[in-house]
Amino acid sequence: MARWGKGIPTNDLIAPSFRCDWKLNGKFGEQHKGGCINIRADRVFVMSKSGNHNFRFVIEHIEDALNQNRNADTFPPFRPGDTTKGREDVKYPPIKGPTGTEQKKIISGNYAAPPNTPEGYPLWRGADDNEDVNRAVFSRHTIYVPGDDDFPLLGSTGNYCKYYNKDLYLKYGNKQLVDNGALQCDEYPFASTEQGAAIDKINYSVRAVFTSHNREHGKALQAFYGEYRLITYDPDKTPTKVGDPFWVKIVD
């Protein structure tokens, strides 16, 4: 066992590798201050479709995003010739379609996928500002839809979900697509990870879900971060110089 402060532990040590910290971690009354973990053990955020009714719609979104057989139908769509560079102007989201050319996305974090595949790679807890950086790709800015002059969303209230899930926003009271609080734009991979929307602006998914479901899921995720010591990555203060890896798993 290697003590932090006496060199950096390496992953080839033939010994348990523990890390302790005193950071206040988690939110919404679920904070845990300090703790020790075995960093060789997999940390898995388990969500139950039957047990977590309070955020069932978020679970269904994540399930679709992780499913290689149907995540081509998630938004924003990914099509041939679509590149990160082509998405630099985030004010212009890819057209909704379908055009029949949508391709599957490579979205990580699936604990049920083989570990040696991109889908089975872990998510990594990001830096403190990751949430703002990732969400700035698909929300909080003006949005114009190519070829649809009737769909400008001006100012900071715009988000991709209002375009891709316009029917839901109209159904639940936002006749002018002005927020009434009923819906929020959920994203996967989570905005708090390094694999969020900003990493390539392609391999992620957003969906409008009920605000109550999004908030309850956020509470559960933050409680998981706190209990399993998934602390935000600081390039100067994190001894291992990498973030904390974890996976998600969906059960019935």
Q: Which domain holds residue 90?
A: 40-251
Of all residues in the chain, the percent with pLDDT exceeding 90 is 61
Angle between helices 211-227 and 56-66 (to 10 degrees): 70
Q: Is residue 226 part of a domain?
A: yes
**Top-confidence residue, 174 or 52:** 52
For residue 91, is pLDDT > 90?
Answer: yes
pLDDT tens, position by position, 27-68: 655 556 677 888 788 999 999 999 999 999 999 999 999 999
Average pLDDT in the 181-186 region?
Answer: 92
35 within domain boundaries: no
In a domain, 11, yes or no: no
> pLDDT category, 1, cuts 50, 70, 90?
very low
Over range 82-111, report the average pLDDT.
96
How far is 179 from 7, CA to CA, in rounded Å? 51
d(CA 29, CA 21): 19
Confidence of residue 80 (pLDDT cuts 50, 70, 90): very high
Which one is predicted more confidently, 138 or 145? 138
Higher per-residue pLDDT: 150 or 28: 150
Question: Average model confidence (pLDDT) for the chain?
Answer: 86
- The label of the residue with tokens 């995540």 reads 71
For residues 34 and 25, the answer to whether their CB atoms sit within 8 Å is no
Higher pLDDT, 127 or 137: 137
Handedness of CA 18, 22, 23, 27 (dihedral sign): positive
What pLDDT is recorded for position 18?
Answer: 76
Over residues 11-22, the mean pLDDT reads 68
Q: Could you report the per-residue pLDDT of 202-236, keeping only the tens digit for each?
A: 999 999 999 999 999 999 999 999 888 888 877 66
What's the pLDDT at 153? Answer: 80
Residue 208 falls inside a structural domain: yes
Confirm whether 12 is domain-assigned. no
47 domain-assigned: yes
Measured CA to CA, the distance from residue 122 to residue 21 in angstroms comes to 22
**Total structural domains in the chain?**
1
Q: Is residue 28 part of a domain?
A: no
Q: Where does the pLDDT of residue 239 fall: very low under 50, low under 70, confident under 90, or very high at 90 and above? A: low
Confidence category of residue 238, pLDDT binned at 50, 70, 90: low
Report if residue 10 sits inside a domain: no
